[in-house]
Amino acid sequence: VLIGTTYQRNENGDMIIGNDGFPLVSSEKKILGNPIPDFTMKFSYTQNIREFSLNIDVEWRKGGDIWNGTNANLDYYGRSANSAQQRNVSNFVFDGVLQNGSVNNIPVDFFNVDQPFDQNKFYRYGSLGVAENYIVKGDAVRINNITLSYSFRKAEFLKNIRLSVFAKNILLWSKNKIDAQTSFFDSDNGQGLNFYNLPSMRTYGGSVSFIF
């Protein structure tokens, strides 16, 4: 499971807002998701045309949660697309209740040059932000392998000679642009944790096979 920080909420599930108009963070960490996908389905397609053969292997991963710590850290430093879009948001009222139980009505600016820097929305929650804001789904479609082969006609002393070129892990379609197959520091315990992870390795090559 993925465990991290969350906002404080009352018994009705409403966020509790501090006196400055921003949501408060709970002192206890909670379970936020599960990195194991609902299912992984793989397809393999082969097309033969005379001496040529084309094989394509596709993988579809559905579900599984990922903590996007990369985006959290980029928000903190103001280097993300999210912080660029929200930097000019002003007079925003968070949906929630104040500590006295009344509905929140305090407007805030996400970034105001007239206020102390550590009070802006992106910096106030630390370099990793509030973890529940950065839980995303690991849905993805990946082309695992493409192989193109050519077989020579049979000779007297050889049944077949096949030349092949291949490319592995060459394309990935993911809504959140995260490779769910990578893990934090390549650790078995790092599944579902993305913090500047390197993408999966791409491999290109060729082979020659002889059948006597």
Q: Give the pLDDT confidence of 6-16 residue by residue, as tens digits.
A: 999 999 999 99
- The Cβ of residue 166 has, within 10 Å, a number of other Cβ atoms equal to 16
* Helix-then-strand count for the chain, H and E: 2, 12
Closest CA relative to residue 14, chosen from 86, 92, 102 = 102
CB 61 within 8 A of CB 36: no
- Report the b/e string of 76-94 with b at 16+ CB within 10 A: beeebeebeeeeeeeeeeb
Residue-averaged pLDDT of the chain:
93
Please give the Cα distance from 41 to 45 (Å, whole number): 14
Question: pLDDT of 134-185, one tens digit each?
Answer: 999 999 999 999 999 998 876 667 778 889 999 999 999 998 889 988 888 8
pLDDT average, residue stretch 56-82: 95
Compute CA 184 distance to the chain's CA centroid, rounded to the nearest angstrom: 12
What is the pLDDT at residue 121? 94
Q: State the residue for tokens 């491999």.
A: 203
Token output for 50: 């005379």
| pTM recorded for the entire structure | 0.85
Q: State the residue for tokens 């950065």.
A: 134
Compute CA 111 distance to the chain's CA centroid, rounded to the nearest angstrom: 26
